[in-house]
Chain A
């Protein structure tokens, strides 16, 4: 939806009060906006980030109570109570999110449910503070001097806040945060490999959505003037979830469409008020099973069907293709590393050394421990014994995210791309840790953030050009054929300016023509200065590229040296081909 459409919708929203007859209609419209605010935040957390929250109603309660108590019991003005509510709810959200560091997504959804119940209970229990069942009465309207924001003025106030939230949320989603959230949702390993701290990301998403819920709560309290614990049962949390799912999880306009659809219907069906939970339940069930992308998703699918023919506008050509920056190469030393899974030894007492800036290959038959070694170096598996030194620094025990942050990047055996993002957005994911603009700068679209976004995109583009995929920059990553997916992963790894790059079977599944391209690409990557370690089967490729080779056999070092030395070594040939060498060199080379 372009700028024009946004302005049109905003214009309609601004003019709406004039078209409505009667106070009740205005009340409903205001309430719609309040709920829209909350759903906006929930969509970021659950839709984009994949963290299902069944506790947002409780967060609204926290916001409402903080604002109401602040204004009624402590005489604060609305303009103080509102930010206070947001901060208070943000803290509650942070508390709710702490367990996510160690627990997985579905556990977590139940924890939000538990939290919500606890908060509901505390609203009643902490009577001295919250007034228990009687609730908080007489919440005043916001005022500036003598002027009171009631009726239409209040509506416009809420509209302004909702619109601001829409813009800020949009900015965050379009930035590295949005990309990281989608990685969290769809392919967490890709995020870890790019050095993104998923735990921190989850907390950030939670706090942000909690703050919006808090703002919504404050508005809710003002609008209702009386709030009691009854207003904030689990039903409310479920209602918000329904609106998000109805509109479309993870869709930019899902919240608005969902809120509209939701509010318009019951207004036509006021008689069915008492059936509402039944309708919510049936609606959630049908949507989740049959239409998981909601209304927005369905609309997008229709639009895509018709927009197929239009090619995206070509990216403006760079006046000079700036050369890619030199990368520092780190040397890698593996010392006596061992790893077992249960009773099976995957890697035993392995040592190898890779000089900085060189290309090294790790080869060996299936099951020899090559990929395990790669996972040990990059921290995806914990090491049982031994040391791994990257540029002299022992990284054992650090964890994959920290190791990736420190300049060790990798590709995966099966490429891990985020299908919902475009090719270039996937590449930009690799620059997450390098981006300097703060969250606030991005949220407010300040010049530095905007500048950086352009620079990062250009940077990603240059790496895409480097791997030969710049023409597909704006295509959805889900539509890219397998062989090219790997190239995108390589570009993503390079954007992180690695000092050590590990490629996991990059040649698997490539055609002969694609293999040549890959060989040239890896040579060019080495030319940039980074140290490259390839785990590979294709001995031809290895012979052409690698300056040194390590051969593994059943988890142990079989041979090491230059490709020539190693590939003529009888033990290596025997291990690879089994039995005699293929060129018929007789029994003397049979395996021991």
Chain B
């Protein structure tokens, strides 16, 4: 049984449908890349999966159970964490506060929270150094590290990352994707929406290519790399 199963999903804004019969599945510990040009509906897909957008038709199942109508809170409780595009941090609050909010509603005992936080600070010394600074004062790359750190703290079962490479230098992108891989190795499944196609394909297990709200094709990332399908979706 798959961790996340999506069938014939239709959703959009107001009366306008953006997604058109999208189906995909993610297994435990699988890294799925979703690629496609702008306006392909990748972000809309993630927002529908996490419950920010209500689905107009189709089903979403989590470990066999129907979760189509779930709120973002409910999805988070099940273990689905969505880091939206544009590095959605609480910029006026400190780095420390942002990290702490990652524990919101998780119901973890104090010392477990402490342990995870110390771990995260050890892994990201720059965050420890800037822990009292407002998150908005960090550079783009540091902000992205912060969001990944938040994810590490929450330890979701499925992490959805929307364009983490946005506006980042290649070196930082490497770091971020490295961390994503580390998460995957710890058993967390990942859905990665990326515009850096090649990099995404390199680390993904499976890839879905989207255009105009539909899935043009999918399969093992290895096979799809450099294919015509990919090129078409991107440059057309």
Interface residues of A (CB under 8 A from B): 341-345, 365-369, 481-482, 505, 507-512, 537-540, 554-555, 577-580, 582-584, 591-592
Chain A residue contacts of B199, Cβ below 8 A: 578-579
Chain B residue contacts of A540, Cβ below 8 A: 235-236
Q: Looking at the complex, which of B118-126, B150-158, B165-173 is the stretch in contact with chain A?
A: B165-173
Nearest-CB residue, chain A, relative to B140: A344
Smallest CB separation, A42 vs chain B (Å): 31
B234 at the interface (CB under 8 A from A): yes
Could you show 19 A-B contacts with beta carbons less than 8 Å apart? A341-B136, A342-B137, A343-B137, A366-B166, A366-B167, A367-B166, A368-B167, A369-B167, A509-B39, A537-B38, A540-B235, A577-B197, A578-B165, A578-B195, A578-B198, A582-B230, A582-B231, A582-B235, A584-B226
Q: Is the CB of A365 within 8 A of B195?
A: yes
In angstroms, Cα B138 to Cα A554, docked, is 15
In angstroms, Cα B127 to Cα A255, docked, is 60
Q: Is the CB of A343 within 8 A of B167?
A: no
In angstroms, Cα B37 to Cα A246, docked, is 49
Chain B residue contacts of A584, Cβ below 8 A: 226
Smallest CB separation, B60 vs chain A (Å): 23
Task: Give the B interface residue count (CB, 8 A).
Answer: 38
Interface residues of B (CB under 8 A from A): 16, 18, 37-39, 85-86, 91, 134, 136-140, 143, 163, 165-170, 173, 194-200, 202, 212, 226, 230-231, 234-236
User: Contacting B170 at CB < 8 Å: which of A343, A509, A591?
Assistant: A591
Q: Is the CB of B168 within 8 A of A343?
A: no
Decide: A343 near B136, CB < 8 A? Known: A482-B16, A537-B38: yes
Decide: A366 near B38, CB < 8 A? Known: A579-B196, A579-B202, A582-B234: yes
In angstroms, Cα B111 to Cα A139, docked, is 80
Known: A342-B134, A582-B230. 16 other contacts (CB 8 A): A342-B136, A344-B139, A365-B195, A367-B166, A368-B167, A507-B39, A508-B39, A511-B212, A537-B39, A540-B235, A554-B140, A554-B167, A577-B197, A577-B234, A578-B198, A579-B197
In angstroms, Cα B231 to Cα A584, docked, is 11
Q: Is the CB of B167 within 8 A of A579?
A: no
Chain B residue contacts of A481, Cβ below 8 A: 16
Q: Is the CB of B168 within 8 A of A592?
A: no
Smallest CB separation, A420 vs chain B (Å): 16
Q: Which 8 residue pairs are nearest across A and B when measured between Cβ atoms?
A: A578-B196, A367-B167, A579-B198, A342-B136, A367-B166, A343-B137, A537-B38, A591-B170
User: Contacting B163 at CB < 8 Å: which of A341, A366, A537?
Assistant: A366
Smallest CB separation, B173 vs chain A (Å): 8
Q: Is the CB of A508 within 8 A of B202?
A: no
In angstroms, Cα B18 to Cα A554, docked, is 28
Chain A residue contacts of B137, Cβ below 8 A: 342-343
Chain A residue contacts of B165, Cβ below 8 A: 578
Chain B residue contacts of A369, Cβ below 8 A: 167
Nearest-CB residue, chain A, relative to B231: A582
Q: Is the CB of A554 within 8 A of B195?
A: no
In angstroms, Cα B168 to Cα A592, docked, is 13
Nearest-CB residue, chain A, relative to B14: A482
In angstroms, Cα B226 to Cα A539, docked, is 19
Decide: A343 near B236, CB < 8 A? Known: A366-B195, A509-B39, A577-B198: no
Decide: A537 near B170, CB < 8 A? Known: A343-B137, A343-B138, A578-B196: no
In angstroms, Cα B126 to Cα A343, docked, is 15
Chain B residue contacts of A368, Cβ below 8 A: 167
Chain A residue contacts of B235, Cβ below 8 A: 539-540, 582
Chain A residue contacts of B236, Cβ below 8 A: 512, 540
- From A365, A368, A583, name the one whose CB has the most chain B CB atoms within 10 angstroms: A365
In angstroms, Cα B37 to Cα A508, docked, is 10
Q: Is the CB of B226 within 8 A of A582?
A: yes
Decide: A344 near B143, CB < 8 A? Known: A582-B197, A584-B226: yes
Nearest-CB residue, chain B, relative to A554: B167
- From A510, A511, A538, name the one whose CB has the most chain B CB atoms within 10 angstroms: A538
Nearest-CB residue, chain A, relative to B92: A342
Decide: A554 near B139, CB < 8 A? Known: A508-B38, A579-B198: no
Chain A residue contacts of B169, Cβ below 8 A: 554
- From B169, B194, B197, B198, name the one whose CB has the most chain A CB atoms within 10 angstroms: B198
Chain B residue contacts of A583, Cβ below 8 A: 231
Chain B residue contacts of A582, Cβ below 8 A: 197-198, 226, 230-231, 234-235
Chain A residue contacts of B197, Cβ below 8 A: 577-579, 582
Smallest CB separation, A505 vs chain B (Å): 8
Chain A residue contacts of B170, Cβ below 8 A: 591-592
- From B165, B167, B195, name the one whose CB has the most chain A CB atoms within 10 angstroms: B167
In angstroms, Cα B201 to Cα A357, docked, is 42
Chain B residue contacts of A554, Cβ below 8 A: 140, 167-169
Chain B residue contacts of A512, Cβ below 8 A: 236
Nearest-CB residue, chain B, relative to A574: B170
Nearest-CB residue, chain B, relative to A367: B167
Nearest-CB residue, chain B, relative to A592: B170
Smallest CB separation, B230 vs chain A (Å): 7
In angstroms, Cα B230 to Cα A541, docked, is 19
In angstroms, Cα B86 to Cα A488, docked, is 29
Chain A residue contacts of B86, Cβ below 8 A: 367
Q: Is the CB of B37 within 8 A of A537?
A: yes
Chain B residue contacts of A591, Cβ below 8 A: 170
Chain B residue contacts of A592, Cβ below 8 A: 170
In angstroms, Cα B91 to Cα A584, docked, is 40
Nearest-CB residue, chain B, relative to A555: B167
In angstroms, Cα B138 to Cα A343, docked, is 5
Chain B residue contacts of A366, Cβ below 8 A: 38, 85, 163, 166-167, 195
In angstroms, Cα B140 to Cα A368, docked, is 12
Chain B residue contacts of A341, Cβ below 8 A: 136
In angstroms, Cα B134 to Cα A505, docked, is 32
Chain B residue contacts of A367, Cβ below 8 A: 86, 140, 163, 166-168
Nearest-CB residue, chain A, relative to B136: A342
Smallest CB separation, A349 vs chain B (Å): 16
Chain B residue contacts of A509, Cβ below 8 A: 18, 39
In angstroms, Cα B136 to Cα A481, docked, is 37
In angstroms, Cα B168 to Cα A482, docked, is 31
Smallest CB separation, A184 vs chain B (Å): 23
Chain B residue contacts of A507, Cβ below 8 A: 39
In angstroms, Cα B140 to Cα A369, docked, is 13
Chain A residue contacts of B143, Cβ below 8 A: 344
Chain A residue contacts of B16, Cβ below 8 A: 481-482
In angstroms, Cα B68 to Cα A548, docked, is 47
Chain B residue contacts of A345, Cβ below 8 A: 140
Chain B residue contacts of A505, Cβ below 8 A: 38
Smallest CB separation, B197 vs chain A (Å): 6
Q: Is the CB of B196 within 8 A of A577?
A: yes
Q: Is the CB of A342 within 8 A of B91?
A: yes
In angstroms, Cα B169 to Cα A555, docked, is 11
In angstroms, Cα B167 to Cα A578, docked, is 12
